[in-house]
Structure 1
Amino acid sequence: MPMYDTLMQMGRWFGYRMGYQDLCRLYTTDNVIRWFFHISVATEELRNAFRIMAAQGSTPSEFGLKVRTNPNLIITSKTKMRHSRVEQTSFSQEVEEIITFVNDDEVIKSNFISSEKLLESISDPVISGEFENDLHRWKNIFLWKNVDPEKIINYLNTYKRFEEQRSLGTSQFARYIENLNKYNELTNWTVCLHGNGSSGQNLNILDKHNVELILRTPSNQRNKKKISLKVITQPTDELLGLEGDELKAYKDSLENFTKTHDTQTEEQTITSAKRGFARYHRSEKRGLLNLYPILGIKNLSSFKKFKGYKNCKSDCEKNCKKHVVKGHNDINKIDKDHLTKYPLMGFQISFPYSRMGDKAAVEYRVNSVYAEHELSNEI
């Protein structure tokens, strides 16, 4: 997860020298643009606080300071923030994906069992197998609707995520759901178990949900306590939460958006917009939880040997087939130290746009003076 201070260092890109300002160009992603926009807002708020502090003749040890946070960004290292505390949070129209895991078979087993308990507690799925909703077709999924938020909260509180400096605990998602439940939001959930993998390894979850484990590329890790995957979701998975009139509203928004964006050259921008529209048009009452059972190959070299890979040269054609090395596709040939004993259970949690306005919480990281004085004065 990116840090504010790291991104602000990257902000040096925007510098220029007299004489060639008009030649400066920066090509980046929509995510980075949104991050810089958020940091600009947070920075301006903090500068205004500094101005007030200076006008009062106060020092930081006497004046309460706060920094607006973002669920997808970390302000700075935990060591530097050790005397601060967090107040409020919001994941409105945000999506969170678990792609890092604790490299411990007992923890992996615990998360898998927690996932089984969740599915067992919500009875039979309304859809098993293939499903199409006018926007996309999914193969071999198990879909539950109108799931009680308490079951989602319990799951998030028992799931053990790999804890690192830049990650958020799943219990924070649970607290956010609890908070919005008070305002009649996120009161029913759609849960989907994805079973259309390409690993060749089948698993019958709870003896009734037959899935093929998903195959995902691991990252090389120096940290032996961590398993990190590159991507576990598909861009279309968030469309599963749309129902009824929401589908038409989504189509209308996408149609208007594509009128001003080139589908050939702005594919990533359009893909990002699709996901954003899916969250925006989904009812504020309905959250979405996608579950992904994954074959736990944790070594990149073993993964390539299992799946196969291209050993192309720099002058090869884009779709070169001459240098394809076929994988052995035999789980028994994988080094036991490179394979988890139980499947990894990753998930994506997608939050719709919150209609709460000012009541939709914004999270701040506050210093001890602010926490002790400013907040106590509001009680």
Structure 2
Amino acid sequence: MPPPPPASAPRSGSGWLKHSAKQVRIWTTDGIARWFSELALVEQSLRDSIIALARAGRRPDQMAIRLRAHSDFLLTARNKSRTALPQQDSWSGEHPQTVLLPLSDPAKLQTNLALTDLLVEEVFPSAKCHGGMLARDVPPETIAAFLRGYHIHEDIVVFRNDLLADWIIGRSTIGELTDWSVFVASAGDGKLATLGGREVGLVRRKRISSESIGILTDPVHEGVDLPRGPDAYKRDSGAYDAEAMRAARPSTQGLLLIYPLDPEYLGIPSRKPVITLALSLPQTSDAGTTWIVNSMVSNG
């Protein structure tokens, strides 16, 4: 840093010392600096939310604007925020799955099957690996559209398809979850069926209650798209470590797992596959962040 100029140094018309014009400094406290940084993040969250609305083709009354909460400040006056609702709805590092199924609603099951037929036909999973078929380089918009069209059980809690789709699009606006793979499980000894023009072996899962199957996923499948494959993530016992696979997953890379289930093992009269889903998600930058949304918007 150059020495300070003499007191008699000439000043420019703006009042700054000429040879210090490019050395502007703002002195502040650590607290104010932290507040400013957080406010910048709040502003960016608003911009990201608006971009997500545009990409999703939705209106603000269909998809709630999500603002990052500030640790010290209210986003607006309390009398103007009566419908504000704090949320922590990140699926960072999670593996939501459809273990509660609408087995008593044949229309939903048929819709899900037709929807999956179209997706598999579109992405065309051709790489056979670890008891299934894998497609890579699927855009997040395709995944989000598929999730929005999928019909879930009305009582499901974790796998909220609309919220997941909105979250994925929101993350993609800041460079996360931009690169997806789709894995279709195919049991080697399962009953054969056709899905999107591809022959698959139906996976067997049994109900533990009237409409729940307990655990859906096979841990090995959460690593099928990773560079080193799932075999690189084994515990000392030899069991696959799905949590370690998700931890190793780049923040850009998501995995959609599709399990076509055998209706006979589920004990339902239909002969068509029952489509169930799971996601393997990386750590994203919104983990642990609180957001403020409008509670009057249903999918906020």
SS of structure 2 residue aligned to 1:210 = strand
SS of structure 2 residue aligned to 1:290 = strand
Structure 1 pair 361–345 and aligned structure 2 pair: CA distance change class (3 A): same
Amino acid at match of 1:206: G
Provide the rounded CA distance (Å) in 2 between the counterparts of 1:194 and 1:151: 19
Amino acid at match of 1:340: S
Amino acid at match of 1:295: D
Q: Deviations over 1:108-141 (max 9, x none)?
A: 000111111111222x33413xx2xxxxxx13x2
SS of structure 2 residue aligned to 1:162 = coil
Contact 1:298–1:340 at 8 Å: present in 2 too?
no
TM-score (norm 2): 0.63
**Which residue of 2 is the match for residue 104 of structure 1?**
105
Confirm whether residue 294 of structure 1 aligns to residue 261 of structure 2: yes
SS of structure 2 residue aligned to 1:97 = coil
SS of structure 2 residue aligned to 1:118 = helix
**Which residue of 2 is the match for residue 179 of structure 1?**
170
How far did 1:90 drift?
1.1
**Which residue of 2 is the match for residue 142 of structure 1?**
133
Structure 1 pair 347–155 and aligned structure 2 pair: CA distance change class (3 A): same
Structure 1 pair 165–195 and aligned structure 2 pair: CA distance change class (3 A): closer
Q: Deviations over 1:201-235 (max 9, x none)?
A: 2112233x1111111111232xxxxx221222211
Q: Runs ≥4 in structure 1, deviation > 4 angstroms? A: 363-368
Provide the rounded CA distance (Å) in 1 between the counterparts of 2:156 and 2:213: 18
Contact 2:100–2:156 at 8 Å: present in 1 too?
no
Query: Which of 141, 148, 151 is residue 142 of structure 2 equivalent to?
Result: 151
Q: Deviations over 1:329-372 (max 9, x none)?
A: xxxxxxxxx32343110111011111x3xx5563569998xx9x
Confirm whether residue 281 of structure 1 aligns to residue 222 of structure 2: no
The higher radius of gyration belongs to 2
Amino acid at match of 1:205: L
Contact 1:241–1:287 at 8 Å: present in 2 too?
no
Confirm whether residue 204 of structure 1 aligns to residue 194 of structure 2: yes
Structure 1 pair 367–159 and aligned structure 2 pair: CA distance change class (3 A): closer
How far did 1:107 drift?
0.6
**Which residue of 2 is the match for residue 232 of structure 1?**
216
Query: Which of 145, 161, 181 is residue 152 of structure 2 equivalent to?
Result: 161
Contact 1:198–1:215 at 8 Å: present in 2 too?
no
Q: Deviations over 1:50-79 (max 9, x none)?
A: xxxxxxxxxxx99x99xxxxxxxxxxxxxx
Provide the rounded CA distance (Å) in 2 between the counterparts of 1:197 and 1:96: 25
Q: Deviations over 1:181-205 (max 9, x none)?
A: 0111100101111111544x21122
**Which residue of 2 is the match for residue 80 of structure 1?**
none
TM-score (norm 1): 0.51
Provide the rounded CA distance (Å) in 2 between the counterparts of 1:166 and 1:205: 27
Q: Deviations over 1:219-258 (max 9, x none)?
A: 232xxxxx221222211111113115xx69x94xx68xx6
Provide the rounded CA distance (Å) in 2 between the counterparts of 1:187 and 1:167: 22
Amino acid at match of 2:98: I
Query: Which of 260, 274, 289 is residue 362 of structure 1 equivalent to?
Result: 289
Structure 1 pair 220–189 and aligned structure 2 pair: CA distance change class (3 A): same
Contact 2:97–2:159 at 8 Å: present in 1 too?
no
Contact 1:84–1:365 at 8 Å: present in 2 too?
yes
The alignment covers a number of residue pairs equal to 221
Provide the rounded CA distance (Å) in 2 between the counterparts of 1:220 and 1:181: 37
Query: Which of 196, 199, 202 is residue 213 of structure 1 equivalent to?
Result: 202
Higher helix share: 1
How far did 1:166 drift?
3.8
Structure 1 pair 154–165 and aligned structure 2 pair: CA distance change class (3 A): closer
Amino acid at match of 1:242: L
Contact 1:287–1:351 at 8 Å: present in 2 too?
yes
How far did 1:100 drift?
1.4
Provide the rounded CA distance (Å) in 2 between the counterparts of 1:280 and 1:192: 19
**Which residue of 1 is the match for residue 121 of structure 2?**
120
Structure 1 pair 367–283 and aligned structure 2 pair: CA distance change class (3 A): closer
**Which residue of 1 is the match for residue 16 of structure 2?**
none
Confirm whether residue 343 of structure 1 aligns to residue 273 of structure 2: yes
Structure 1 pair 364–298 and aligned structure 2 pair: CA distance change class (3 A): farther
Contact 2:125–2:184 at 8 Å: present in 1 too?
no
Amino acid at match of 2:121: E
Provide the rounded CA distance (Å) in 1 between the counterparts of 2:158 and 2:90: 16
Structure 1 pair 348–149 and aligned structure 2 pair: CA distance change class (3 A): same
SS of structure 1 residue aligned to 2:114 = helix
Query: Which of 278, 282, 287 is residue 352 of structure 1 equivalent to?
Result: 282
1:16-165 aligned within 5 A: 85-87=85-87, 89-102=89-102, 103-122=104-123, 124-128=124-128, 131=129, 138-139=130-131, 141-164=132-155
SS of structure 1 residue aligned to 2:258 = strand
Structure 1 gaps, min length 5: 1-48, 50-60, 66-82, 132-137, 222-226, 303-337, 372-379
Provide the rounded CA distance (Å) in 1 between the counterparts of 2:251 and 2:163: 18
Amino acid at match of 1:220: S
- Pairwise CA RMSD of aligned residues? 3.5
SS of structure 2 residue aligned to 1:233 = coil
